[in-house]
Structure 1
Amino acid sequence: MSVHRDTLFEAWQSEYSDLLETGKFVPERPSVPRTIEKLPESGIATVGHIYMPTVLQDDIPSIEEWKDTVDHEYDYEKSVAFDYVEEMLDEDSLDRVTSGAIRFLDTCIPNGLTELRTIGLGVTGLNQVFREANVEYGSSVSYHLAKTLMDFIDGIATNTSHELALERGAFSAWSESRYSNPVENEEWFRNHAHQFPSQHESGYKMRNHGVTAIVGQSQVDIDKTREFS
């Protein structure tokens, strides 16, 4: 095990010196560790999940059954995943849930955290999606399905954050971000804003520096049956 020297010094300062002396992780005089680091704002996000089965069409076929109904052959799994996801998603539900979730999470940001206003919308229920598609969890096809789903969600989430910026104002560090100069950050902007830089030469306002994330499943799921203003 490798421990950073600063961590060891903090451990010694906070009465965890017996960790160094005995190699034990439980001190003889238990106390609340004071080595827990205070996160900078860049490491803080308000997070939540979309439960993916709730934004799918009813009775979707497996991916192999679906391919049998398509009149052409696919050369790449990525292309299969994209077209299959387009078919199996309930786009109206996905748009409503995602945009509502972004607005909801933005209102949950604590006062004072205005520099970045980072939020993290993730997904849960992917294993059930893979079962519906008859795809093995962890396979290359499942990877492409998950990435395609998140691309759809990230596109809606980013657009919603842009709308919020026009309504409520951008995060305070926006002028220092790449969103303020899409032309000079063309590839990054295409990947993150899902827009053409040439259409936003004066900048692309964003309410939140980040909108999607991989988050722990202990968070509350955002179900399609819930409405958000």
Structure 2
Amino acid sequence: MYTWRVVGRSGATTFEGPYGWFGTSAGATISAAKKLGNGVPVAISDCAVTWSFDTGAYVQELNRSAGIALIRTENLIQGKRMSISGVVSTGANYERRIERISEVQLGTATPRPLGLANIALGGGDFFYHAANGAGQKGVTSGFGLNNIGLLVRIWGRVVECDPESPATWFKVDDGSGVNVKCVVPSGVAIDPSWTYVGVTGISSCEKIPGGLQRLLRVRTQDDITPL
């Protein structure tokens, strides 16, 4: 990968613009891939598939340090270790992703979800640069390590359910001052009688008026444990 920066001078004054990137980042970690601008090719040498669905997938580092969304991944299977390559981009909700995927299967891996308090879900900005999309934008009022794209687990009291039928989301309050919206895919049922639950899913984000809110993407019915 190569970097460039525009520098201008007017008399004794120097003006420096932001950094830009071009080239391929081969053998990168997911964290390094997220630091790249949109449209930059990248190759990740070893990662685990934590969720595979109709339009994409999520992968993460084996040490649970970072995760990222993938687009158009017909051949990826949850629980597999993969080497992948593609092009870095940003989705409509500011979530970084890799598209135009090619992959090589390496074996199997089933990372355990990382337990988080609601207030820690999402996290703050990670080397975010709005001009070229580099980094990962954090959630509104987020702080600490950015964990968007990572498999996590939260616990708490169910305080609200989608009134539509079938319901597609519910919210969980763990007492940390933040309610987390949990969205479920087709085929996962939400029971309005739930009181307390543990929920596993992918840490994500959703653009709302005035900000970017925390979001947990549930994968299957087994990800929800009534307590």
User: Given the two structures, how large is their TM-score scaled by the length of structure 1?
Assistant: 0.28
- State the structure with more CA Rg: 1
Higher relative contact order (CA 8 A, sep 6+): 1
| Greater helix proportion | 1
